[in-house]
């Protein structure tokens, strides 16, 4: 799976691609992430990418001109790849990301061109011209799409085969509309709070049952809305 990210703030992706599980997935060639600066595609001498909105109003809008060139360049790069591709725009008005949507994106075997907006957004004609899919990471507004893009990529990449162990995927929150049970590790006694004895019993069936009950208890406590979906 390939991600091509179009942004005005490339440096925001430095830590993301160089850390932990995402770095390992890149090193193992499970995924590639290329980050491209939209500003490189400007044709005016001041390298301007944004202009005030027609009709007035606050903020600046990223112009269709450099952005379309950046998209065309990205499409060209993916042209000879056997996988199909989709163009995504991180936007607070998009479809809200959840576990099932991440799973859909990760199982599609597509490549993705992701547009990160900043300021007041991008020219609407880009969305129409390229049949862009809009994704939001939640009902709040960020200053730009870069963090949202990283959240999106992280949630998709970790579900790709080989990125993390199959076992951790099976038991994690949201796979079955239940939140994950509480976890404990050393020390056994932390300020008088001891690890539940059953977890030291070595009795796998009882431990599995206990964890299931705990999952249900935790879900009822924190996300009762999920219980209704079971």
Nearest approach, Cβ of 101 to ligand ADE (angstroms)?
13
* DSSP, residue by residue, 76-103: HHHTT-SS-EEEEEEEEEEEEP-HHHHH
Using DSSP, how many helices (H) and how many strands (E) does the chain show?
9, 9
Distance of CA 125 to the CA centre of its chain: 25
Residues 133-192 that bind ligand ADE (CB under 6 A): 136-138, 140-142, 145, 148
If the CB atoms of residues 118 and 215 are measured against ligand ADE, the closer one turns out to be: 118
- Contact segment (CB under 6 A) with ligand ADE among 6-14, 72-80, 84-92, 199-207 equals 84-92
If the CB atoms of residues 10 and 77 are measured against ligand ADE, the closer one turns out to be: 10
Whether residue 159 contacts residue 165, with contact meaning beta carbons closer than 8 Å, is answered with: no
Nearest approach, Cβ of 134 to ligand ADE (angstroms)?
8
> Is there binding between residue 59 and ligand ADE (CB under 6 A)?
no
If the CB atoms of residues 141 and 170 are measured against ligand ADE, the closer one turns out to be: 141
Residue count at the site for ligand ADE (CB under 6 A)?
11
> Is there binding between residue 63 and ligand ADE (CB under 6 A)?
no
Nearest approach, Cβ of 210 to ligand ADE (angstroms)?
38
If the CB atoms of residues 13 and 181 are measured against ligand ADE, the closer one turns out to be: 13
Report the chain's terminal Cα–Cα distance, integer Å. Answer: 32
Nearest approach, Cβ of 1 to ligand ADE (angstroms)?
20
- Contact segment (CB under 6 A) with ligand ADE among 21-29, 132-140, 168-176, 201-209 equals 132-140
Q: Tell me the CA distances in angstroms from 149 to 16, 152, 218, 220, one per residue in order.
A: 11, 5, 29, 31
Beta bridge partner(s), residue 122: 62
* DSSP, residue by residue, 182-211: P---S-SEETTEEPPGGGGS--HHHHHHHH
- Give 211's Cβ-side CA count (13 Å radius): 16
Residues 89-118 that bind ligand ADE (CB under 6 A): 90-92
If the CB atoms of residues 66 and 145 are measured against ligand ADE, the closer one turns out to be: 145
φ/ψ (deg, to 5) at 160: -75, 140
Contacts to ligand ADE by CB under 6 A: 90-92, 136-138, 140-142, 145, 148
């Amino acid at each position: 799976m390939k991600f091509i990210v179009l942004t005005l703030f490339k440096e925001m992706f430095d830590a993301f691609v160089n850390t932990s599980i995402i770095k390992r997935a890149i090193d193992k060639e499970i995924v590639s992430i290329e980050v491209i600066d939209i500003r490189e595609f400007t044709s005016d001498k001041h390298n301007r990418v944004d202009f005030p909105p027609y009709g007035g109003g606050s903020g600046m809008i990223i112009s269709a001109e450099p952005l379309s060139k950046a998209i065309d360049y990205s499409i060209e790069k993916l042209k000879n790849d056997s996988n199909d591709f989709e163009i995504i725009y991180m936007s607070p008005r998009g479809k809200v990301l959840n576990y099932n949507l991440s799973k859909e994106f990760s199982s599609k075997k597509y490549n993705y061109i992701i547009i990160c907006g900043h300021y007041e957004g991008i020219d609407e004609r880009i969305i129409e011209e390229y049949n862009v899919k809009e994704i939001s990471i939640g009902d709040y507004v960020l200053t730009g799409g870069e963090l949202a893009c990283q959240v999106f990529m992280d949630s998709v990449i970790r579900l790709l085969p080989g990125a993390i162990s199959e076992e951790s995927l099976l038991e994690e929150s949201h796979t079955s509309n239940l939140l994950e049970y509480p976890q404990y590790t050393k020390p056994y006694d932390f300020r008088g709070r001891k690890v539940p004895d059953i977890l030291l019993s070595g009795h796998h069936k009882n431990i599995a049952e206990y964890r299931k009950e705990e999952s249900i208890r935790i879900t009822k406590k924190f996300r009762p809305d999920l219980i209704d979906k079971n």
